[in-house]
Amino acid sequence: MQGQKVRKVVIAGGGTAGWCAAAGLSKLLGPLLDITLIESDDIGIVGVGEASIPTLRAFHNFLNIDEQAFMRATNATFKLGIEFANWAREGDRYFHAFGKIGRSPWITPFHSVWLEGRNRGLSGSFDDYSLELKAAYAGKFQLHKNLNLSYAYHFDATLYGQYLRSLSEAAGAKRIEGEIVSVQQNPETGFITSLTLASGQVIEGDLFIDCTGFRGLLIEQTLKAGYEDWSHWLPTDRAVAVQTRSDAPVMPYTQATAHGAGWRWRIPLQNRVGNGLIYCSAYLSDDEALERLRTSLTEPALTEPRVIRYKTGRRKKFWDKNCIAMGLSSGFIEPLESTSIHLFQRSVLHLAQNFPFHGVEDAQVNHYNDLSDKELAYARDFVILHYKLNERGEDFWRDRAAMAVPDSLQARIDLFRRSGAVFQGPGELFTVDSWAQVMLGQRLEPQGWHRFGGLMSQDELAGVFDGLKKTVDHTVANMAPHDAFVRQYAPSAAG
């Protein structure tokens, strides 16, 4: 322990973000740190983040989390991707599937070969070559050592926080109940020195993690880190959420259906369904949104709808002085591609890898902020893509189609339109297959593509597509029904 200056870590706020931070640091760095989490039972959490992406499994592997125990505790089901309905045009439907599409030669992605085959009348639908997509629509799922399925989960975010709390406390993290009423700073450096609770208790620390949600009690209200507003690109600013009974077989995918001023989600858990409507208040009132959500429900409601307000954007500094913002306090990208939990779990891993044991240094802070900035910008561009590429007629959608997008995204759109090329940047979350599925699904037609497929004869190329399709179809036919598999593999603790 010689030379260690930062040992006492104080996490302000619980919820999914706070307990992810506590679980990650306590499991990965253990006795090197003294971890305290402060949360108040009187302060609610957003708690509607019910869909994830496959990187959650990697985070769980780092923490040695048992999949079946996690699923039982959180009413979880499996997720193979997202269905997008009515996005480019009313009546359109496409699927962003996890995993790889087809089989790519080293020189070019599979979608280029598929474009060559389509041009020659030899390939089927792009969907035919995705195992995850076909399994999702068939309502199938299976875990087997010879089946390389890419998947994530749907789960109850509130129960997930409670589950992570149990792991954190078992690993030595301490929880203090109370409301933070003031923040003390070093008068010379501005570093946070302690937090005072309503009870009068003072909690001192060396490093503070702000998980206080949108209000950013430490990072913004105290340190004034600043906020970069992205609402000119992503103007939705409201979500109304409600839980309904689960009357239909549980399907292994999220549904995202566009409407005149945004979109609505449907997320199936074992014991209920999460439903919500994302919208822009400049185009749709709260009352109209509530009515639109109610009329879209196909099962009886279990809860009263609640409206959540947000502003898309990011803190100008994720790490400022001795405070790191995680979760909603660091920024927010609307939940279209389920990136929020991924981003703050990445923050936990970045902190664990770059922990300032010997004191907070500018070089380390700048490196962390640079990593976080790039990862968030990649995710932001991917979500904006869904809005920019549309041919709908409502004012909200026409304005999105006409808007100027970040140069980084416009360059990708131009590249795909002209050459069919897609790339995945260093450290970028979304793969080449993800970008290709959304671009094609949003009706962006490339004018050209890599001609590697042109090296094959008609019969050779047709044989490639036929073989891939048969393999996918055969595999799906032999998988178990998702609903039955979940009930056998990890039945909900709620019954």
The residues annotated with a catalytic role in the active site are 79
Rounded to whole angstroms, how far apart are CA atoms 88 and 168? 44
Query: Are 331 and 324 contacting, i.e. CB atoms less than 8 angstroms apart?
Result: no
Rounded to whole angstroms, how far apart are CA atoms 248 and 323? 46
Smallest CA-to-CA distance from 254 within 264, 245, 241, 262 is with 264
For residues 187, 190, 195, 201, the Cα torsion angle rounded to the nearest 10 degrees is -20
3-state secondary structure of 96: strand
The distance between the two most distant Cα atoms of the chain, rounded to a whole number of Å, is: 79
Rounded to whole angstroms, how far apart are CA atoms 31 and 99? 37
* Opening angle at CA 188, ends 186 and 191, nearest 5: 40
CA distances from 413 to 82, 116, 352, 406, 445 (A): 21, 20, 35, 11, 10
Smallest CA-to-CA distance from 281 within 240, 227, 327, 228 is with 240
First-to-last C-alpha distance (Å) of the chain: 47
Rounded to whole angstroms, how far apart are CA atoms 390 and 325? 34
* Opening angle at CA 55, ends 166 and 410, nearest 5: 135
* 82 DSSP assignment: E
Rounded to whole angstroms, how far apart are CA atoms 11 and 383? 29
Smallest CA-to-CA distance from 17 within 235, 168, 134, 121 is with 168
Rounded to whole angstroms, how far apart are CA atoms 342 and 53? 7
Query: Are 90 and 260 contacting, i.e. CB atoms less than 8 angstroms apart?
Result: no
Smallest CA-to-CA distance from 386 within 341, 423, 333, 342 is with 333
In b/e form, how buried is each residue of 303-316, taking b as 16+ CB within 10 angstroms?
A: eebeeeebebbbbb
Q: Give the DSSP H or E segment for 37.
A: strand 34-39
